[in-house]
Amino acid sequence: MNLAYVRVSTREQNESRQMVSLHQFGIEKWFIEKVSASTADRPKLQELLEFARSGDVIYVHDFSRLARNTADLLRIIELLGAKEVTLISATEHFDTSSATGKLMLTMLAAINEFERNILLERQREGIEQAKLRGVYHGRPKIEIPKGFDDLVKQIENKTITKTKAAELLGVSRTTLRNMMAENSKPAYKQYEDFPEGFAAMYSEYLAGNINIPEMVLALRKPRREVELLIRRYTALLKEQGDADTASSVPPEN
């Protein structure tokens, strides 16, 4: 199926130029995004990523309409590749299924890695300069409140839920999980098997604020791996006694 993604800003609000350039490809379904410069939401893109199936072809006028930067573009291409969906840009003459497209993809990945290395190097230089000035002390550790160890024992014995423990400690469930992940005791170390920031992302997923395609983009992992992480994290919560949270996991879609 031939799909098209068109995005216009509030200043433009006219998608006709992009649509004219794509009509030649026999588009069967259009996803038209009209967004404000002040928002990062792209609901139509998420809808497209959910809708696309193996064998589909997605057309865009140019990459600037699809992604914010090189890293964002690579994440989207990786997601589409995992679903066996082809991406074609009319302006750049880029086709992810062609030999030339695959070569361009390799070059994009190299450019992104180069940009990332430059950013990391600048961060390291900034940290070193801050250390020399005596103003850098690293990320502060979460302060463990009184009664934490006793409540964790109750969690392990399944006599209290994490939700109730967090309430008694006066912290959020996400903060409680982070406390347990940072604690050196083996019982809490299982949380370190998950990507950094996954606990907060999982909470947002439960609240319905983000969906699986958005987690795929953020974590830069294939959908199947993200779904596995969700199932593993849910199982861990049940094992640790947070059944009320685990039971609220939405169905995968």
Catalytic residue among 9, 36, 97, 247: 9
Distance, CA of 101 to CA of 113 (rounded, Å): 18
Q: Model confidence at 37, in pLDDT bands (50, 70, 90)?
A: very low
Size (the chain), residues:
253
Structure confidence by residue, pLDDT tens digits, 137-159: 555 556 777 888 888 888 877 78
Residue 2 pLDDT > 80? yes
DSSP-H helix ranges across the chain: 16-22, 43-51, 70-82, 99-133, 148-156, 162-169, 173-182, 198-206, 212-219, 223-239, 243-246
Least confident among 133-147, 151-165, 193-207:
133-147
Give the span between the Cα atoms of 60 and 63, in whole angstroms: 7
The residue behind tokens 């070569």 is 103
Which pLDDT score, from 0 to 100, does residue 39 have?
Answer: 46
pLDDT tens readout for residues 78-107? 889 889 999 999 888 889 888 888 888 788
Mean pLDDT of the residues in the chain: 77
Q: How confident is the model at residue 245 (pLDDT cuts 50, 70, 90)?
A: low
Q: Which domains does the chain have, with CATH numbers?
A: 2-97 (3.40.50.1390), 148-244 (no CATH)
Residue 38 confidence (pLDDT): 41
What's the rounded mean pLDDT across residues 183-188?
A: 50
Interaxial angle between packed helices 148-156 and 162-169, expressed in degrees from 0 to 180 and rounded to the nearest 10: 170
Pick the closest to residue 15 from 61, 71, 75 (CA basis): 61
> What is the pLDDT averaged over residues 24-34?
91
Residue scoring higher pLDDT (252 or 125): 125
Contacts within 8 Å (CB) and 24+ apart, 218-226: 219/195, 220/75, 220/78, 221/195, 222/78, 222/79, 222/82, 223/79, 223/82, 223/83, 224/82
| 184 part of the active site | no
pLDDT recorded at residue 171: 84
pTM over 0.75: no
Of residues 129 and 37, more confidence is placed in 129
State the Cα–Cα distance between residues 43 and 244, nearest whole angstrom: 29
